[in-house]
Amino acid sequence: MLNRRPSRIALAASAVALSAILAACGGAPAETPSAAPTAAETAAATPSAEPTPTPSREPVPVSNSIDGIEVVGEPGSAPTLTIPTPFAIDETRTRTLVEGQADGPAAAADSVIEAHYVGFNGRTGEQFGSSWDQGTPAMLALPQMVEGFTIGMTGAKPGQRVLIAMPGSQGYDGVPTRPESVQDGDTLVFVVDVVAVSVKDAVGAAETPQLPVTLGEAEGKPTVTIDTASTPPAELVAVPVIKGAQRAVGADDYVLVKYRMYSWKTGELIDDKFAAPVAGQINQTLEGFKQGIVGQPIGSRVVLVVPPKVGYEKPSQNPPVEAGDTVVYVVDILFGSAVA
């Protein structure tokens, strides 16, 4: 329960449904996927109209250090914390327990992350939430999180394990949906394992594959030049020209992408979602798109040449594709999460 308020998370405010755009082969579009609540939200207490009343209690001495908090355990599994209770912190403070990927992207304050976490009340030492207990990581939009969590995650990289302690003023103070065991003024202590971080553009190592089309760039966007007199490939082509450093997209992932799409027959740009990323379940997209993106690392830019047998055997009006046309995509994979 890391959110300021009850809400359903979306990968990006401007993202539209990917499945509706890339529905298979000119047939009826797949059902538009809705953004799922985070694992934290599903574990949250029932929302109430008024903040939880705060019983009177003895004041807790305020510390300016988290050095006394001990964390034991390997990344990927739930840690064990020893907190010198009652514990209170003066401001949000962090400590990196395990370094993240050196070449991985750093989370910004407006990023979406996939992460495992466990949360404790610093005053009592009581655990109040854990994605490990839920059995799945959480998909978290940092702008929607409590302030201390957003501060603690800003700059974090995939693979990093971070200890965060935040005062109640940057945590659950006044939050009506906070856990019942947390009171106003309680310091929150989290350990977070970062799994994936969203990016705004492809980022990674440049690749120079042999392609049946020519890539270029104009006005900050990739372009594709096609020899329309040539015979298009009979099989799917899916190769990265920028290879991301994060985990690979899974077959059931919820993804955020931006892309440009070209017709082989005409050589013309027929769909441009590069300025307005789209989000949805990868398994509800065009078969060739799905096959080409699954297994590619998050952060990659991938060129797809999609023949009709895994693409548009039938005509499509949106995007405008003739029956039997081969289509070419340049796709930036901005995020992927197993949390749907």
Residue 57: per-residue pLDDT: 74
**Long-range CB contact pairs, 7-10, < 8 A, 24+:** 7/41, 7/144, 8/34, 8/35, 8/36, 8/37, 8/41, 9/35, 9/36, 9/37, 9/38, 9/41, 9/112, 9/139, 9/140, 9/141, 9/144, 10/35, 10/141, 10/279
Domain CATH number, residue 316: 3.10.50.40
Q: Do residues 174 and 213 share a domain?
A: no
Residue 56: per-residue pLDDT: 62
Span 23-49, average pLDDT: 34
- Closest among 153, 128, 147 to 40, alpha carbons compared: 128
The answer to whether residue 95 is domain-embedded is: yes
Predicted confidence (pLDDT) per residue in 151-176, tens digit: 999 999 999 999 999 999 999 999 99
Q: Do residues 236 and 309 share a domain?
A: yes
Q: Is the pLDDT of residue 2 over 90?
A: no
Which of 149, 166, 197 represents a domain boundary (last residue)?
197
Residue 339: per-residue pLDDT: 87
- Closest among 266, 259, 275, 187 to 225, alpha carbons compared: 266
Q: Do residues 122 and 218 share a domain?
A: no
Q: Do residues 242 and 300 share a domain?
A: yes
CA dist., res. 272 & res. 316, Å (int): 16
* Tokens at 243, concatenated: 């290879």
Span 317-332, average pLDDT: 97
Q: Which domain holds residue 182?
A: 70-197
Which of 197, 217, 242 represents a domain boundary (last residue)?
197
Predicted confidence (pLDDT) per residue in 176-208, tens digit: 999 999 999 999 999 999 999 999 999 999 999
CA dist., res. 182 & res. 121, Å (int): 7
Span 19-33, average pLDDT: 37
Query: Could you tell me if 202 and 300 are in contact, meaning their C-beta atoms sit under 8 angstroms apart?
Result: yes
The answer to whether residue 279 is domain-embedded is: yes
Q: Do residues 156 and 239 share a domain?
A: no
Element (H, E) at 108: none
Q: Do residues 212 and 168 share a domain?
A: no
The answer to whether residue 13 is domain-embedded is: no
CA dist., res. 171 & res. 148, Å (int): 6
**Long-range CB contact pairs, 48-54, < 8 A, 24+:** 48/176, 48/177, 49/176, 50/176, 51/174, 51/175, 51/176, 51/184, 52/176, 52/178, 52/180, 52/182, 52/183, 52/184, 54/183, 54/184, 54/185
Q: Do residues 245 and 326 share a domain?
A: yes
Q: Do residues 236 and 113 share a domain?
A: no
* Tokens at 9, concatenated: 């998370």
Beta pairing, strands 62-63 & 88-89? parallel
Span 33-41, average pLDDT: 35
Residue 10: per-residue pLDDT: 42
Q: Do residues 318 and 244 share a domain?
A: yes
- Closest among 168, 292, 274 to 235, alpha carbons compared: 292
Q: Do residues 248 and 142 share a domain?
A: no
* Tokens at 274, concatenated: 């590069």
The answer to whether residue 2 is domain-embedded is: no
Which of 138, 162, 197 represents a domain boundary (last residue)?
197
Q: Do residues 255 and 161 share a domain?
A: no
How many domains are there within the chain?
Answer: 2
Q: Is the pLDDT of residue 122 over 80?
A: yes
